[in-house]
Structure formats: C-alpha cells, structure tokens
Structure 1
Amino acid sequence: MSTDTEEHEPMLNSEAETASDPPVEVQPPESQAAQECSVDEPPVSTDATSESVEGSHKGGDSSPPTTVRGDPASSPVSSPVSSPVSSPASGDKPIKPPRMKSMRSKDGSPLLKEQKSLEAKSADVETAPAVQATPPAYEKMNPEAQPYLPTTVSLHTDDAAVKPKKKLGLDCILGNKWILLGIIAVVLIILIIIIVGVSVSRPRKVAPTPQPVYEDPIVMGLRCGKAVGSWELNETVAVFKGIPYLKPPVGSNRWTYNLEMSAISDCDNATNAKEFKGPCFQLNQLSNDPKYIGSEDCLYLNIWTPASPSTGGVMSGAKLPVLVYIHGGFLHYGSGHEDGFSPSAELATELNAVIVSFNYRLNVFGWMALENLASGDGKMSGNFGLYDQISALKWINEYIDNFGGNPEMVTVAGLSSGGTSILALLTNDEAKATFQRAWISGASSKFDGSKADTMKVNKKVFLRNVGCRSEENNPRQCLLRKTSEQLVDAIPWLQYPSWGAVDLVEPPTKDTFIGGVLINDEQYVLKAPDEFFKTSAADLEIPILMGNNEFESDMYQVVPVSTWSWGQYSDYVRSKYDTFNESISDFVLNSYAPSLSDSTRLHLARHVSDLRAICPQTFLAATITDNTNSAVYRYVNTVNLPQKLTDIYQASSTVATHGSEFFHFFHFSEDDSDDFISFKQNFTAVIKEFMVNGMITGWAHYPVVYEYSKNGPNKTSRWTADTCDAWRAFYPDYSWMN
C-alpha cells in the first residue's frame, strides 16, 4: 500500500497546508437548504479508504488529530451520512462529517483530500475533539441553532460502503421556496393542459348570438345634408322615406318650375327620413271618406337599399343596380309609396338592388296648361309633373351612389301613366341621360294635344268652373287664392276635356276624344312618342321592356255588362262601332274571340284592350325597332292575381288586368300559393337580369312577342303586328291617352 501512497503523494496537500486552511465562510440558510437538497458524488469505497489509512500507519508518522472545517458552499455532498461516525477517543455525540474534496487513487477509487494527508503521517487515525470556529455573526447564538458550525469528523468508517443519500423529502421541499414554486407551476401547467384538452374534445353548447342592434342608417353629403333612415327586414335593408328633392310647391311656388334647393335653409326637417310623406293632393279613389287625401307639399322620394350585414351600414359605393319606380294613376292619383303597390324591403333584397320611388305633382297642380299661369315664365305652362320627374331622376343620378346604387345602371319602371311618362322622358335629352334601361307597362301611346289647343279649352272650362273667368288673361293671382279642394273640384272630370277618361275603357265612338293632360309643351316634350321615334331617335340605344296584361280594360267597369244578355251586349257594341262602319261591329261580334262568347264581360274587355292598349303598344314597339338602335322586348301577361288581391286592387277582376304583373312584382305574403310564388320568382328573375344586363337570356327582340303564363314566357302569334292589323285604323287617335 506504501507504493500506492507514494505514487499519489504529489496530489496530496502537506500537513502544513491542512493546518493553515482558512476558516470556511458560512453560507446563508437559503443557500444551505439548496445544497442539502442536491445530489452527492458517487459513493466512496470503504476498502479504498482503509487501505489508504493502513498505508499511513506503516509510515510510522505520528501527528495530532486533524480538524476539518465543513464547507457547505463547496462540498459536493448535500446530505448527512445516515450512520454518524463517533469519536473513539472522546465519545462525543455523533456529528456530521465534513465535506471533502474528492480525489482518486491509482485504481480509480475516490479518495478524500484529508484522507490522503493523514495517510502520509500515520496509520492510526484519532479523532480530536471538535473545534468550533464560530463566525462572528453567530458568536452569541445557541450552538444547537447554528446549522452552519464547522465540524470535526473521524475518518473511521464501517466496512460496508457508505452510500450518499438525497434529502428530497417534504421538509426539504417546504424549506425551499423556489422548489415549491416550481412544483406549483408544473402542477398548474398540467391542469391547464388537461382542462383545455377536455374542453376541445367535448362538444360545447354554443350560446345563441344576440341579435345585433344597429344604430339608425345615415347617409351624408346630400343636398339637404344628411338623411337618417330606419331598418327593415331584420336590419338587412335600410329605408329612407320622405327625402326632399325639390322645394315644396306651395304658396307662391304653386305652378312653379324653378324649385331647385340652393341652400340648406330650403330643406325643412330633411334629416328625419323615417316616415313617408303624404301623397300629392288628389281625390280619394278608394273612398269618399275622406274625399281628398294628400298635400301640395309632396315632392319627396323614398329609397330602399340592402345594408351591409358586417357593418350594419349602408353600402355606399357598392354599385348595385337601381330601379326607379314611377307610379301610375292617370296622372291624377297615386303615390310612390301606395300600400301594397309600391317597392318594399323584400323586393330590394330579392333584386339585390337599390329601389327608388317618388311623388310628383298630380292633376291640376301638375298638368294644368294655362297662359300666364307659370311663375316667372309666361311662355311655359303645363307638364309641371314632368319637370318634377326629371328633377327626381337628376337627384338620383347625383346621389344614388351614396346609397349603394350605380348611377350608370338605372332602370326606370312605369305602370300606366308612369309608363306614359317614361315615353315622354325618352323624347327629352336631359331626362334620358339619367337612365340606361326602361320598363314600360300599360302606357299610353298618344299625347299629341297641342299647347295652344289645350290652353284654349282649359281657359274656357276650368277658369269658369273655379270662378276666375274674369281674370282669364292673367289668372295666376286668382288661382293662388283658391284652396286645394276648390281647384280639384273645378277639374272638368266628365265634360270635355274629360280628365276622368271614362271613354277610354269603352269601345270608341267616332270623333269622340278626350283632351290632353300630358301635352306637347314645346319645351319638355317636343313631339309625340310615335312621331319622335320615327324622325328623331336614330341614336337611341336604351333597351326597352314593353308589357301589357291580357284584359287591360277589365279593371274599369263603367257599364253593367256582366248582367247583360248577349243580345243586350250586341246592341251596345253596335252603338259604338257602327259609327265607323257596320262591318267592324260584325267582325267583333261574329269573329273576334269566339271562345269568350259566353262571357260578355271578358269579351268586351278583350277587344277594347286590344284596340286601345295592347296593339297600340305593339305598333309603337315596331316603330322603335325599325327606327332606333334600342332593343325591344315585348310581352303580354296572362296570369291572374290571387283572389284576395283582386278584391283589394282590381275591382274584383278575376283575370290579368291593368297592372297585374306589377301587383305580382310588388306583393309579398307568407300565405301566397305555390303557383303564385313560382310565377313571381320567374318574373322577378327576368326583371333582375334586364336591370343588370339590359337583356333577357333566351328572349328574342321584337317582332317576337311573348305570352307570360304560369309556365313562364312562350312565343305567341297573338298581339303581333299582323294580328293587330285589324285595329290599325284606330291607331293612334283612339288609343289610350294620358
């Protein structure tokens, strides 16, 4: 063993070095706890230790007991030895062995530095009494409460190997806050992972999304500033009602053309666009209680526009197609928001389009032509309502983009006198620049009354009726003093010029006409439509959809024909057509529509509708096709309305009569029949395509005519130019007018 010791002597400290080691600096308690919970070096073999000790005895060196100072900070041993080593000389209490710097012998067994020093001195190792080297900070402390006191240990060991142990028990963990916090953190992370995993894998009940509550839709930058509308159809359509487009034509502005709003002061309560304004002043068609409805302050328009679901705002700049509805009513009645017979939020959604309707001045306020009547312009009079229509279209062209519409994709749609108005607008360069397509139904082809003739008749009849004949050369001031009711009551409804137009739903009588309402005024209308399209519209390129209904005149029953026998009915027919030629009466009674001979009402409606309404529109379609670049699509609707609607709107007519397809187009109800819904969807799809593309897939241009039945549109030989030749002699003089 001496050889082994001698071989390693250069690696051992001398006795002087051991004795002169400085006292070990005491660690703070927290650091000590961390070291006590650390893992020891590999176990030291007791055989190797004993062998080294024996070698030191053989050296015969005698030395005093060796004192070893504990160094918790540098020791690799963190746990006390489980079997304490007692001093054989003094019998002191067991103490913790000091930490020793590990070295290895030649055979690789670990040796402690202090062991090697003792082996070099003596074979007998005695343990000296413990020497306390108390640091200054602990001088006055109870020795039992000083965990960092240096200790002296005997190097005597058992024969069995002493295995270092770990102190990782509860006391160690609780005594070290960092370990405790680390364990808590790990546990929390594991719990979070488990909770997330369970929540992802398990189906969850999704709470219903609350219905968003949007603020009122607002459109800025209008002529009157802003307009605040309201929401309809579950907040998917923004509706703006009663937006002014001209100054009110009241007081001194009655019968005035210059009504443009030049300042914000011209706009009275224009911001609030949540309620319809009343119709223009008129007789109540549906009831005598009240006798009159509406107001002269009536020049307002209404807009329905799809909203943006994501923002709840109006889709400004969306460039949707635009449909502008011009209402009918003989130029005397109606409005742009008539209940059940006007645009709606449902229609805006179905078309995915912006829809506009408006009011225009009616009857005596919109169409009276008298010399010196118009404010500031003695040369111009009449067609005030047409001026309103052009002004509305210009407003739409300027501002519809703010509502999501495309001013380059505007379709004007007009029924009855609304269609008649569109024919007049097509003759006006300023007006036709504001729209790109036209849908016309049940229109009048004739309004060729001259300005001079119309003024002469009105001066004689109307001024006498209203009590202003004494001022006939300058009637304006007298008429301004009259009330709205007095003016309407003075209209010659039945006497010529017969503004009631009763004769137009009967067979014609030779040389019996009604007077003009919409006239050739030499400013807004220079020529009647037929003449204009023949001579002045070569560059017209606006696609036109031109329609009628099979029994146009059946809506208006002016004679009790339903109660007549065929003989009574024959006498009535001859009293009319014989004024032209008896052969015409024979043709009507013996050859025309024999399938309807068992129904005097429908037979009358058939030939009156063909003569006065349907064939005149066919002749006009031919004129437009032959003389312009406009494509014309021609249809006649034969689909009846549901009974519940005919009772309300069509004087109990059970057939496709005046305006039936517009009733289909506008009507929405949850209890509609499947047949009605099917036809409506098909017809609406046709209108939608025409609005967007200016064409209809699968349809040929005129001279092809389509019969629109429940099965959809089909080509027909009825109502073509050839079939209508029987009535050509009556065109245009006896066609519908106004």
Structure 2
Amino acid sequence: DMSGSSVCKATMKEAEQINLVFLNHTGCQDAQCLWNLNISQILQSIPWIEYPSWASDDSFDLPQKGKFDGPMTVVDGYVVPAPPLDVWKQKIPGYSDVPYVIGTTLQEADFAPRYTNISKWSAEDYHWFVNSHLNTFGGHFSAQALALYPTSEFCSQPERCVEKAYMTMVSDLRASCPNNVVARLAAETLTSPVYRYQVTYTPSRPTEISYLFPYNSWFAFHTLDAVAFFGTLDFALGETSEDDRTFQRLMRKYLLHFAKEGTMPPEWPEYPNRTALLSTTLRVEKNYRSAQCALWENNDMFQYAWIS
C-alpha cells in the first residue's frame, strides 16, 4: 500500500446526500436528463470547491478546523460491509489475512504544494501559514507543531529549508502518521507479517514538470517510491545520478523480495517493532517520528487524513 488514504468510512446515505450537491447543480429531475449532459455541463456541475470539495485543493496543505473533503468511495454495507479499520477492530469475518507492507514518503505533499511560491517563503511566512491554519483548532497547537518541525531539520537545501519543513508537517499530518495508525491496527489484527516504510531519499534534482508531475518537487515527494520501483526516475527527473539509481535499485530489491517471499529479509523487522527508512541504504528505527505523530494523534487529527 503506497501512500494510501487512511480514512474510508462514508455510508451509502452520506454518499447520496453528497451527490445531491452535484444533482442540484445540474438542474436535472430524472436519469434521462443526466444521461443527456455534455462534458462541459458535467464539469460545471461538479462541486469542486464547496463541500464535498472534489478538487481536494487542500489535501496537500494543513487543515483548518471543520473543513473536510468529501469521500469518493462508499461503505455500502454489501460489497464493503463496514469501514476497513472497523473490520479489523471488530474482527468482522471476511477480511484477507495476508502479508502487508505500508509505505509513505517523508514529503508527500511536495508533489503538488497548494502554494506554488512556497520555495520563496521566509521563516516568518512559515510561521504565519502554520498559525493561520492550526490556530483554528485553538490552544497551543501551532506553537507545539512549530517546535517539532524546525526549518533546520535535515535541511540539505538551505534555500528550501522552509519548504521542506512545511511539506514534512503537512505530510505527517495527512499521510505518514495516519498510515502508522493503519499499520499498527493491521499488526494487531493480522497473523501475517506487517511492514512499514518511509522513503527519506532526496533526489539529486527536482522533478521536471509534465502531465504527471505538476511541480518541481525537490524532496521525497508523493509517488517517489512507485516511480523508483518501476525504474522511471529518469523520466521524472530528466536524468539521474548514481545515488538516484542506487535508491531505485534498493526499492526494487526489497519490494520484489516481499512479492516473492511474502516477508522482508531479516534486516527489515516487522512493524511496530521497527520502521524501515529507505534512501540509498536501508535503515530501521523504533518509534520513528513518534513525537510528531503523537501531536497529531493526541489532537484528533486522524479525521483530517487523506480520504478515499
């Protein structure tokens, strides 16, 4: 599971209510009218910005209290009998007990930052944006977050330290820490092995903007693991360094081993015992980024994780 959405719980009734927004925009009263809509009419009727916000323009940004994106998948009670996490929690019969690997990248959100001028932000800008979002939750939330995400952390690109800090914060909240919750629950429920990885590799150069990559991503962006596994870093970056190719070989080595054997090699322990950090080498760490994830979990931020 590469950078999967952690929240999947919308009922059929909720989905029907959400779809009414689209239906009302079309002005249709029957199915034939819907069938007759042309592409432009459909696109104009989709609620891109208003809830359910199908543009999901804030999914690569910090949340604001009470602002959510609507779901795309439905727990209909038949094909999907219950929310996947509830199936595990309640041990509802029917789930597949198979080896499971869950991965994220350290700067998922750097794939498509909401603010395209983020590379030009100052430290003051960084504090302002964090405060403007997290202060909506009250308390000392934003101050705690800023203390845990200093702009100096692991910064090898001095002119982009602010971008890296903000993208890491967003990615932890939206993807990495919620996927820890998923992995932890999987490990508690399944008898099969569960593994967790975080890609920490910073490519040698930014991605080239294309129909697949909307931004010059400098860090461990969303899909970096998939791009490396399929051996297409040269397409993403334009050209690759020896370190890029070493990282690519490492991704393929371990994921192919997992596909063939159903386990990882001994140097990669199961979760939650260790998290594998993937770069040009494999490193494992216990309680990886536990302080950062505790902040989000203790403040009920799981509900703002990526939704499917």
TM-score (ref. length: structure 2): 0.86
- Counterpart for residue 554 of structure 1: 110
Q: Aligned pair in 2 of structure 1 residues 568, 722: CA closer, same or farther (>3 Å)?
A: closer
- Counterpart for residue 220 of structure 2: 656
- Name which structure has the greater RCO, CA cutoff 8 Å, separation 6+: 2
Distance, in Å, in 2 between the alignment partners of 1:593 and 1:508 is: 19
2:90 corresponds, among 535, 539, 552, to 535
How far did 1:731 drift?
4.1
The amino acid that maps onto 2:77 is E
How far did 1:457 drift?
2.7
Contact 1:618 1:719 in 2 (8 A): no
- Counterpart for residue 185 of structure 2: 623
Q: Aligned pair in 2 of structure 1 residues 524, 603: CA closer, same or farther (>3 Å)?
A: same
Question: Aligned pair 1:701/2:275, yes or no?
Answer: no
Q: Aligned pair in 2 of structure 1 residues 680, 562: CA closer, same or farther (>3 Å)?
A: closer
Note the 1:50-61 alignment, pairs <5 A.
none
| Runs (5+) with no aligned partner, structure 1 | 1-439
Per-residue CA deviations over 1:668-723 (Å, capped at 9, x if unaligned) read 4596432222222222121111111111112211011011011x211124646565
Question: Aligned pair 1:667/2:236, yes or no?
Answer: no
Distance, in Å, in 1 between the alignment partners of 2:276 and 2:4 is: 18
Note the 1:405-554 alignment, pairs <5 A.
440-459=1-20, 461-468=21-28, 471=29, 475-536=30-91, 540-554=96-110
The amino acid that maps onto 1:512 is K
Contact 2:88 2:189 in 1 (8 A): yes
How far did 1:576 drift?
1.2
Note the 1:348-367 alignment, pairs <5 A.
none
Q: Aligned pair in 2 of structure 1 residues 682, 688: CA closer, same or farther (>3 Å)?
A: same
Q: Aligned pair in 2 of structure 1 residues 553, 577: CA closer, same or farther (>3 Å)?
A: same
Distance, in Å, in 2 between the alignment partners of 1:590 and 1:564 is: 18
The amino acid that maps onto 1:681 is R
- Counterpart for residue 255 of structure 2: 687
Question: Aligned pair 1:640/2:205, yes or no?
Answer: no
The amino acid that maps onto 2:41 is Q
Tell me the number of residue pairs that the alignment of Structure 1 and Structure 2 aligns.
Answer: 292
Contact 2:207 2:217 in 1 (8 A): no
Contact 1:593 1:606 in 2 (8 A): no
Question: Aligned pair 1:577/2:134, yes or no?
Answer: yes
Other structure's SS at 1:636 match: strand
Other structure's SS at 2:303 match: coil
Contact 2:148 2:292 in 1 (8 A): no
Distance, in Å, in 2 between the alignment partners of 1:723 and 1:589 is: 10
Contact 2:207 2:218 in 1 (8 A): no
- Counterpart for residue 245 of structure 2: 677
Contact 1:541 1:631 in 2 (8 A): no
Other structure's SS at 1:714 match: strand
The amino acid that maps onto 1:654 is W
Distance, in Å, in 2 between the alignment partners of 1:653 and 1:644 is: 5
How far did 1:608 drift?
0.9
- Counterpart for residue 587 of structure 1: 144
Note the 1:167-316 alignment, pairs <5 A.
none
How far did 1:631 drift?
1.3
The amino acid that maps onto 2:203 is L
The amino acid that maps onto 1:584 is F
How far did 1:601 drift?
1.4
Distance, in Å, in 1 between the alignment partners of 2:139 and 2:175 is: 22
Per-residue CA deviations over 1:195-237 (Å, capped at 9, x if unaligned) read xxxxxxxxxxxxxxxxxxxxxxxxxxxxxxxxxxxxxxxxxxx
Distance, in Å, in 1 between the alignment partners of 2:119 and 2:246 is: 32
Distance, in Å, in 1 between the alignment partners of 2:144 and 2:151 is: 11
Distance, in Å, in 1 between the alignment partners of 2:207 and 2:112 is: 16
- Counterpart for residue 734 of structure 1: 304
Question: Aligned pair 1:725/2:294, yes or no?
Answer: yes
Distance, in Å, in 2 between the alignment partners of 1:594 and 1:567 is: 11
Contact 1:498 1:515 in 2 (8 A): yes
Question: Is the helix fraction higher in 1 or 2?
Answer: 2
How far did 1:488 drift?
3.0
The amino acid that maps onto 2:181 is F
How far did 1:541 drift?
2.1
Contact 2:52 2:69 in 1 (8 A): yes
Distance, in Å, in 2 between the alignment partners of 1:720 and 1:502 is: 26
How far did 1:659 drift?
0.6
Distance, in Å, in 1 between the alignment partners of 2:207 and 2:18 is: 39
The amino acid that maps onto 1:489 is Q
| Runs (5+) with no aligned partner, structure 2 | none
Distance, in Å, in 2 between the alignment partners of 1:678 and 1:569 is: 33
TM-score (ref. length: structure 1): 0.38
Contact 1:550 1:657 in 2 (8 A): yes
Bigger Rg over Cα: 1
